[in-house]
Structure 1
């Protein structure tokens, strides 16, 4: 078995495993992004869609392996591996969306939304006593930034006239560029942006609209607080790991170590830490903390109402939200530890317009964006 075939099969197994776990990353009351009551969480229609999606996703993974492996064995390049993984993700997402559509049809046909009185729950404590940003978790990223800056200051006078080309995360040893202060300290500048940006984004997540359950208001509010505290720590941990990888990039850029495949692996290793931590946290606490154990008094909590049905505002299996009457800009999506913008809010369109303008400026060469390194 050639390394490319091994890499291809590994990618297929990882993608298939991740996509098979996708339905489990939603709350029981939002299977495939569709709002249902607790009484309908184990409905035969829900179970049928879960099983159908699992069978089709597994079959898609098997087909991807059967088709791509012979192409690589007959001389296909490394791009086949990336194309296979990308195509498999797209197919699985379409299958997920298909299950969401079918579940919506079953929900409407069965009249589920009229079975119980609907309502919403509000906990003003998230405004008067919000979850605090754990600043201590941001300190390691700042320490790595200062360490990199000090090392760069020490090395700057001994650097050669040209440097390897910095690609945004790593270096290209085959390309050289003239020595200038911006080129030499590019990793430090990236670290500075990450050190400032991650706490700011984390603070926005902590202040976004909480995802509470009207059927179990007390328990869901407590669980969501625990969930937010974990999310904040993991987010800041991600910034630390990115800065650590940029430190390894800087070592190669400043000729402290020679650029090589080994150091490229070392550079990417820190990124595995937040990924594994996120997966472990998500599997333990569940979407918005729904898997956390109930405290005494919460076991049989039932307000007599079910969460308001707002499926008409959610699109693409609970990942896109559009509601002009909702003042919230940022809110928890219906899949995994993810947030989404309210595209019905004018501020959201301003942010998207800024991203489009930045993309157009980069496309026409007005500004430079970091180059994406090919994993394969």
Structure 2
């Protein structure tokens, strides 16, 4: 029970810190997902809303932490963790959406773009001199996949009739499933999916529309290149970390390692390391590289980035622009990319994933399970 309470408190802390950090790590010209001119980033309406949001998020986190311990004790099951996390996430999302609406209203009423010259910029060297991902970082993932497969093939014939279930942060020895190629090699299938999909994702991000600023075109293009190269490196390294975690989970499922709290900690240490690396990178470099310093000679253009708020919806998370040929665009919330739902190709991609999910739901196909 003590471990369950500690897990719940850790979960509340992580969610609160993540929600608090969203506006802190965001680009100054995109407070709460609203595009504003650089001259307005310190407007009282923005600073007041930031302060109010931060205080309320921290207050909710403290209340959730105080209430979670009694809730866990009364419930006595891990299911309460999911409920508390869902309620806290919903509250934080509501706060963020309220801040987004408030700043957008202040921008509209104050006519913040009056007297500015709006423009967009394009880096013509992006196609001729693209960012080169560090593809050699795929070697550890491929090695781990091959090693896990070899161990599984060697071990399969001596496995018992039932296997412990892969569940969440480790192995559930109390719930067992029949030994079949699908259950025994589930970690290998997950490794295969990660090893294939992550490089595909990196290649897609490299070809996505660059996030440049018309006010500082040269500076923003250079910073975005550094940012994108770092993201590609972390994604490929993260694939290796995920494959290592899956290997350790497989060794426990195949009765080579004994499940224990120490084993679980070691198993998830690679994922914790890559999560810490992503956090440090985000703090030092910033979204789209906006925290990187400018170089001498990278002066402003006299323009401001075009106000493209009409194309962004749900607090800057959904992008719909039929006149933009880009398929992937950098999201306004966090270091992520999103599909341009104004492009027919994006709907084709979504249709493929929806079809796969439907086929799995109907039992026609069996996708690799997630750990």
**TM-score in same-fold range (> 0.5):** yes
Match of 1:228 in 2: 228
Deviates more, 1:178-187 or 1:80-89: 178-187
> What is residue 250 of structure 1 aligned with on the other side?
250
Given candidates 331, 341, 344, the residue that maps to 1:343 is 341
3-state SS of 1:337 partner: coil
Matched, 1:289 2:289: yes
TM-score (norm 2): 0.93
Please report how far the alpha carbon of residue 191 of structure 1 lies from its aligned counterpart in structure 2 after TM superposition. 1.5
State the SS of the aligned residue for 1:164.
Answer: strand
- Tell me the distance in 1 between the aligned counterparts of 2:160 and 2:292: 56
Contact kept, 8 Å, 1:170 with 1:246, in 2: the verdict is no
* 1:124-203 equivalent positions in 2, closer than 5 A: 124-166=124-166, 171-203=171-203
Who is 2:363 aligned against? 365
1:22 aligns with 22
- Whether the 8 Å contact between 1:170 and 1:249 is mirrored in structure 2 is yes
Mean alpha-carbon deviation: is it higher for 156-165 or for 342-351?
A: 156-165
Q: How far did residue 180 of structure 1 move?
A: 4.1
Pair 1:144–1:217, CA change in 2 (3 A):
same
2 CA distance for matches of 1:73 and 1:151?
41
CA shift for structure 1 position 274: 1.4
Could you tell me how far apart the structure 2 residues matched to 1:297 and 1:10 are? 46
Report whether the alignment pairs 1:64 with 2:64: yes
Give the match for residue 313 of structure 1: 311
CA contact (8 A) 2:215 2:305 kept: yes
| 1:161 Cα deviation from its structure 2 partner | 4.2
| 1:303 CA drift (Å) | 0.4
- Can you list the C-alpha shifts for 1:267-297, whole angstroms capped at 9, x where unaligned? 2222111111111000000110011111122
TM-score (normalised: structure 1) = 0.92
Q: Flag the 1:6–1:154 CA change in 2: closer, same or farther, 3 A.
A: closer
RMSD: 2.1
1:344 is displaced (CA, Å) by: 1.1
Q: Distance in 2 between matches of 1:69 and 1:258?
A: 30
Unaligned residue ranges in structure 1 (runs of 5+): none
Q: CA deviation at 1:168?
A: 9.2
Contact kept, 8 Å, 1:37 with 1:307, in 2: the verdict is yes
CA contact (8 A) 1:226 1:289 kept: yes
Contact preservation (8 Å) 2:12, 2:85: yes
> 1:170: how far off?
5.2
Q: Mean alpha-carbon deviation: is it higher for 56-65 or for 106-115?
A: 56-65
Q: How many residues align?
A: 371
